Structure 1
Amino acid sequence: EDKRPAAAAGAGGRSLRFVRRAGQDRVYRVDLDTAKFSTTFDDWIEKDLLKLSPWDVRRLTLDDSTCSFGADEASGRLMIKLDRSSRAELAYDDKEAKWSLVRLEGFDDKNQAKEESLAADEELASAKLNDLRNALGDLKIIDVVRKPAGLSADLKAEEAFAGDREAVTSLAQRGFFAVQKGDMVSSNGETVIGMKDGVEYLLRFGNGTTVSGDGTATQEEAPADGAGASPDAEATGRYLFVTARFNEGLLEKPALDPLPEPPAGADAATPDGDKDKQDTDAKEATDAGDAKVDGAADELKKAEEAEAKAQAALEERRRVEAENRRKQEQYDEQVKGAEKKVRDLNNRFADWYYVVSDKEYDKIHLGRDAMVQKKEPAADEQK
């Protein structure tokens, strides 16, 4: 704000502010009502974080695990302690509107995986899985924090970043740890969402945190009598690390038609030289006498019919080839579109940790006990 007296500033009694366009050195004094520029978090944050439609979700991978970090007293290095509980892969059939279990793994005390299956009296909790899917389409965040420098656009840890102790410690304090080969592990498991367009979202859940409320973060904790929450109230949430990647296995492969085989005997009729030979034979037969004319005519007719069949088969083969080429090109365009979308999403996610409320976290992070329920007894068993 221009603090000079209005008369000295030539403002005619108006309150002026200094403004400058980004990337330019020139500074302006303008008459500006700053009340129009809200500082409320919910007014300027991107509402649709993942930009996905719940109806396009085809796969879910729910990794229920915890990971803690601590410093080794002898070496001073950060150590990782991983405790895995379960990992489930699920598929959604949009035509049947039904979830199915693809694979379920449990883990022993040494984190060794063992494939499991649902008990006879267990079934998937479809209502909770549907709630998870719907929550992804309207994922609300209550805060953002800028990530440390050194993460590339695809959010892999660069070598220089791994050697930056301050940055690595900052990451670990939020529940994320860079490991070898540029990958990361998180303190509270992962949820992977596979979409029908080939895009796969990886949500890593970090440590819990609190957010000072400006209205958004404390709405769920408002008093029951309807009184407004205190401006200084805090909401509990959890850090979220989001990446996107391309999974070609999510795309439906093009169904290419087999090329038709040429008709029997077409090989002898297809080349022009064979037809010429038939014409020559017919002429020689005519010269030999009227007795052979009918036989030569029959041979010529057969040759023409064989040639027509061969030509029809060739045209059908070309038609099938063209249709297969169209299907393949359409599929290739889907691949390119998915790869571009992944790049665009990762450019959006690259700079920020997100914070989601505990309520949202409970919806999108399910363990085995939450995604499985007991079957209701059959009607005849209730009697």
Structure 2
Amino acid sequence: MRETAKTAAFVGIALLLAVLAGITQPERATPRIFSDQGQLFYPNFRDPQAARVIEVVDYDEATATARPLKIELRRGRWVVASHHNYPVELGDRLVRTAAALVDLRKDMVRSDSPEDHAQLGVIDPLDQKVGTLAGRGKRITLRDARGDVLAEFIFGKPVEGKPGYRYVRVPGQKRTYIVRTEADPSARFADWVEADVLRIAAESIRRIVLQNYSIDETLGRILSSETLILVRQPGGWSGGGGERLNLKAVNTLVNTLDTLRIVDVRPKPPSLAADLRQGQLRLSLESALSLRQYGFFLTPQGRLLAKEGEMTVETADGLAYVLRFGEVAASGGEIKSPGGHGENRYLFVTVGYDQERAAKYGGDGATGERRARQLSERFADWYYIISGPDFQNLRLRRKEALAGASAPASENQPQP
């Protein structure tokens, strides 16, 4: 009996110890590397409309330079602060961009090692301590009206085999995540400004005069010139003397005018901009130096010449645009256009209105006069930079315009 009691006591003690061990044993810890998996990157950032600044920094491996773009709301209007405060019409674009970033989650931890940053493409493009040029990502920052950071990411390479996912890292942190996102804000100026800088509709163009000339930059005079006149007739385009044209080349020119994009800008001196708003050009030292820097020359007689010639475009509402083409333009450290198709160029634009011209073309004179004032205000402040391909499309020469001109004009109308 005593042995039975002892055995029962030992069993009871063993059971008690087992229970106590189960109670006091620590819970199995989640591996530290997965501790934040599935969480929001910025849980306190919930209102996309709080974003008042976006900064996007890309990296150009070919030139080993970071390309920053910054857009912010200043005094009630959006400006590209990184590009001389050029004004832009964003609408709700920044809100939509912020909304695409506000719910980003750390879907999966990919690596905790800085040694993997280059392979995953998440090296900070602003990090000057890292020697490698390859493997740098795109840094995206959203700020509120006070300049405080709402969200900040480094977007890396897309994840192979997982469409819609990319590698993402928070600046200053080692950990890299796999994140599901379609957001990809651009650092290119051209992607944020409106596509149609001239605001010309192809179907409104009635006459184009192209003047290709070379100039003596020292004396400010034309040495040799060639003029090509294009006129829109009821049956289509023809030369000013009735010549039949290479309509493919003409249509390309007209459509380029309709959709002309700018890739960068430079500000004009305030005195020059003020003169242009008043429809005049005075030969001041400041204006002359600025014009010459970008490939434009003001003669003693007050005529403005351009290194690469000029063109006049007349529209149905009585407007006459004058486009002057200047020097090769360096934009973001590059003078070559994407794809290597020629060099970017400076463009100087003016516009005027003539009532007789509007009556001749049967356009709305009141609308034309109002548009001329608005456009003059718009063009006065800026030297524009256009891409090499667009420059080549606009510089149509006589031999190109007449080459292969065999089809009737009515068979090939320019498409708006």
Normalised by the length of structure 2, the TM-score is 0.51
- Number of the residue aligned with 1:46: 194
SS in 2 for 1:210: coil
- Greater CA radius of gyration, 1 or 2? 1
Structure 2 distance, partners of 1:173, 1:254, is 38
Query: Are 1:102 and 2:240 counterparts?
Result: yes
Match of 1:352 among 368, 372, 382: 382
Structure 2 distance, partners of 1:29, 1:171, is 37
Query: Are 1:91 and 2:246 counterparts?
Result: no
Q: Where do 1:288-299 residues align within 5 Å?
A: none
Query: Are 1:247 and 2:361 counterparts?
Result: no
Structure 2 distance, partners of 1:84, 1:167, is 25
Q: Where do 1:333-352 residues align within 5 Å?
A: 334-352=364-382
- Check whether the contact 1:58–1:91 (CA below 8 A) recurs between aligned residues: yes
Normalised by the length of structure 1, the TM-score is 0.55
- Number of the residue aligned with 1:66: 214
The one-letter code matched in structure 2 to 1:174 is Y
- Check whether the contact 1:18–1:30 (CA below 8 A) recurs between aligned residues: no
Deviation at 1:155, TM superposition (A): 7.0
User: Unpaired runs of 5+ in structure 1?
Assistant: 1-12, 71-78, 104-116, 223-234, 256-330, 378-383
The list of structure 1 runs, each at least 4 consecutive aligned residues, that deviate by more than 6 angstroms after superposition, is 17-21, 34-37
The one-letter code matched in structure 2 to 1:65 is Y
Structure 2 distance, partners of 1:138, 1:254, is 23
Match of 1:237 among 330, 344, 347: 344
The one-letter code matched in structure 1 to 2:228 is A
Deviations 1:142-183 (A, max 9, x none): 221111221224475544xx232x441221121111234644
Structure 2 distance, partners of 1:127, 1:364, is 13
Structure 2 distance, partners of 1:127, 1:147, is 36
SS in 2 for 1:220: helix
SS in 2 for 1:242: strand
C-alpha spacing 1:138/1:376, structure 2 compared with 1 (3 Å): closer
C-alpha spacing 1:80/1:39, structure 2 compared with 1 (3 Å): same
Deviation at 1:376, TM superposition (A): 5.3
- Number of the residue aligned with 1:196: 316
- Check whether the contact 1:199–1:246 (CA below 8 A) recurs between aligned residues: yes
Structure 1 distance, partners of 2:280, 2:355, is 24
SS in 2 for 1:341: helix
- Check whether the contact 1:64–1:189 (CA below 8 A) recurs between aligned residues: yes
C-alpha spacing 1:29/1:359, structure 2 compared with 1 (3 Å): closer
Q: Where do 1:202-351 residues align within 5 Å?
A: 202-212=322-332, 218-221=337-340, 236-252=343-359, 334-351=364-381
C-alpha spacing 1:92/1:253, structure 2 compared with 1 (3 Å): closer
Deviations 1:288-330 (A, max 9, x none): xxxxxxxxxxxxxxxxxxxxxxxxxxxxxxxxxxxxxxxxxxx
- Number of the residue aligned with 2:270: 149
- Number of the residue aligned with 2:111: none
Match of 1:170 among 287, 290, 293: 290
The one-letter code matched in structure 1 to 2:240 is V
Structure 2 distance, partners of 1:21, 1:129, is 41
User: Unpaired runs of 5+ in structure 2?
Assistant: 1-42, 46-50, 54-71, 77-144, 154-183, 408-416
Percent identity of equivalent pairs: 27
Deviations 1:361-380 (A, max 9, x none): 11111121121125559xxx
Structure 2 distance, partners of 1:87, 1:99, is 16
- Number of the residue aligned with 2:8: none
Deviations 1:233-252 (A, max 9, x none): xx721111011111334334
Deviations 1:90-113 (A, max 9, x none): 2112x42x212225xxxxxxxxxx
Structure 2 distance, partners of 1:181, 1:69, is 15
Deviations 1:188-238 (A, max 9, x none): 111111111111111011112232369x9753239xxxxxxxxxxxx7211
SS in 2 for 1:52: coil
CA RMSD of superposed structures (Å): 3.8
SS in 2 for 1:366: coil
C-alpha spacing 1:37/1:81, structure 2 compared with 1 (3 Å): same
Deviation at 1:46, TM superposition (A): 2.5
- Number of the residue aligned with 1:135: 256
Deviation at 1:34, TM superposition (A): 6.2
